[in-house]
């Protein structure tokens, strides 16, 4: 199938980044969010980043102009009916995503592919919510989407071969490396990554070393470009907590239990870079 018009639900950091990637690849994008302020901010952010790419010589000026003209925004959920594909990029909560996919099942065009940017939630549950499981697939971008080359493509047992093939082809068009993974909690990347982050938090909690030194150990000893605690701050400690809590629930295994220190920090609003303080100070 041909995918020319893509709707993105969610005007946050990831949503904005995915919109930029789509626009740079010559696609028409409709960005939806219930918050007009978020839409205005996201549009400005995308425009600024595209112009920065042009100023650095990485994007042709004509391509930049076409990309900016190809972006529309809307608060109206019904407008998503015109899209060939919808990408959901809302917070990592299954109840919220199920609500979105239930609405998409009633609103999206019958042949539209419905993709979720979830980093590890159940794609099959979203397919059931939409009542068109063959059209539902996971398309997990990594942060920041314009920079990170990887996209995990997640198919449930019900995802059809044409849907899967179309999404793999789209990822290639976007210049991404698409890796197919099973519909298992955390998929591949986050199932490995977030338990490691949690263990680093436990090491800090138990006084093994300072936050800076824990990160230096992984940077210098394992060639990580960013230490696990700084990475958690970048991702957001609230997002990190949500992911680990979902692992614990779905696997029914205490090895995924979030460290008490992480829960304490989220409860007091220390969420990492976005709040100005996490394991490190960004004020």
- What does the pLDDT average to over 123-133? 98
* pLDDT band at residue 200 under the 50/70/90 scheme: very high
Q: Which of 227, 220, 223, 234 is nearest to 201 (CA)?
A: 227
Note if 152 is an active site residue.
yes
SS3 content of the chain, % helix, strand, coil (to 5): 55, 15, 30
Mean pLDDT of the chain: 96
| The residue count for the chain | 283
Distance of alpha carbon 17 from its chain centroid, rounded? 9
- Report the alpha-carbon angle 67-164-250, nearest 5: 105
How far is the C-alpha of 28 from the C-alpha of 19, rounded, in Å? 9
- Among residues 16, 43, 117, 119, which one is catalytic? 119
| Whether 54 contacts 60, CB under 8 Å | yes
Burial of 62 (0-12, 13-18, 19+ CB in 10 A): exposed
| Other beta carbons less than 10 A from residue 177's beta carbon | 10
- pLDDT in the model for residue 80: 98
- In eight-state DSSP terms, residue 79 is G
- pLDDT in the model for residue 250: 87
Beta-sheet pairing, 71-74 with 28-32: parallel
- Among residues 43, 116, 152, 246, which one is catalytic? 152
- pLDDT in the model for residue 165: 97
Note if 190 is an active site residue.
yes
- Among residues 16, 116, 190, 246, which one is catalytic? 190
- Among residues 28, 116, 140, 198, which one is catalytic? 140
For 201-227, b where at least 16 C-beta lie within 10 A, e where not — what string? bbbbeeeeeebeebbebbeeeeebeeb
Q: Residue for token digits 């009542």?
A: 131
- What does the pLDDT average to over 188-193? 94
- What does the pLDDT average to over 57-62? 92
The model's pLDDT over 210-241, given as tens digits with 9 standing for 90+, comes to 999 999 999 999 999 999 999 999 989 998 99
- Say if residue 51's pLDDT is above 80: yes
CATH architecture of 189-275: Orthogonal Bundle (1.10)
Please indicate whether residue 166 or residue 250 has the higher confidence score (pLDDT): 166
Domains 5-182 and 189-275 share a fold: no
| Whether 159 contacts 187, CB under 8 Å | no
How far is the C-alpha of 138 from the C-alpha of 77, rounded, in Å? 21
- Report the alpha-carbon angle 8-189-87, nearest 5: 10
- pLDDT in the model for residue 36: 96
- pLDDT in the model for residue 93: 87
CA separation, residue 92 to residues 10, 105, 177 (Å):
12, 20, 23
E strands, the chain, in order: 5-9, 28-32, 71-74, 85-88, 113-116, 136-141, 150-155, 177-182
The model's pLDDT over 165-179, given as tens digits with 9 standing for 90+, comes to 999 999 999 999 999
Q: Residue for token digits 């015109």?
A: 82
* pLDDT band at residue 147 under the 50/70/90 scheme: very high
Lowest average pLDDT, out of 30-39, 134-143, 192-201, 248-257, goes to 248-257
Percentage of the chain beyond pLDDT 70 is 100
Q: Crossing angle of helices 61-69/13-24, nearest 10°?
A: 120
Any idea where the domains of the chain sit in the sequence?
5-182, 189-275
5-182: CATH topology is: Rossmann fold (3.40.50)
- Say if residue 1's pLDDT is above 90: no
- pLDDT in the model for residue 143: 86
């Amino acid at each position: 199938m041909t995918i020319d018009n893509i709707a993105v639900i969610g005007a946050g950091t990831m949503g904005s980044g995915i919109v930029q990637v789509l626009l740079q690849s010559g696609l028409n994008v409709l960005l939806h969010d219930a918050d007009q302020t978020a839409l205005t901010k996201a549009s400005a952010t995308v425009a600024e980043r595209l112009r920065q790419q042009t100023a650095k010589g990485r994007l042709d000026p004509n391509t930049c102009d076409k990309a900016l003209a190809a972006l529309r925004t809307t608060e109206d959920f019904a407008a998503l009916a015109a899209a060939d594909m919808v990408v959901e990029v809302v917070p990592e909560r299954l109840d919220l995503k199920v609500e979105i996919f239930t609405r998409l099942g009633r609103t999206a065009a019958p042949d539209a592919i419905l993709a979720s940017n979830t980093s590890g939630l159940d794609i099959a549950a979203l397919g059931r919510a939409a009542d068109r499981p063959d059209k539902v697939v996971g398309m997990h971008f990594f942060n920041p989407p314009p920079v990170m080359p990887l996209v995990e493509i997640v198919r449930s047992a019900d995802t059809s071969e044409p849907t899967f093939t179309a999404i793999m082809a789209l990822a290639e068009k976007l210049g991404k490396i698409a890796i197919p993974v099973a519909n298992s909690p955390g998929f591949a990347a986050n199932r490995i990554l977030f338990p490691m982050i949690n263990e680093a938090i436990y090491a800090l909690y138990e006084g093994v070393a300072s936050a800076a030194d824990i990160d230096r150990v992984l940077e210098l000893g394992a060639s990580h470009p960013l230490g696990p605690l700084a990475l958690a701050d970048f991702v957001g400690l609230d997002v990190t907590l949500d992911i680990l809590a979902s692992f614990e629930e779905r696997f029914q295994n205490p090895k995924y239990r979030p460290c008490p220190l992480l829960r304490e920090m989220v409860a007091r609003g220390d969420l990492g870079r976005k709040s100005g303080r996490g394991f490190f100070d960004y004020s």
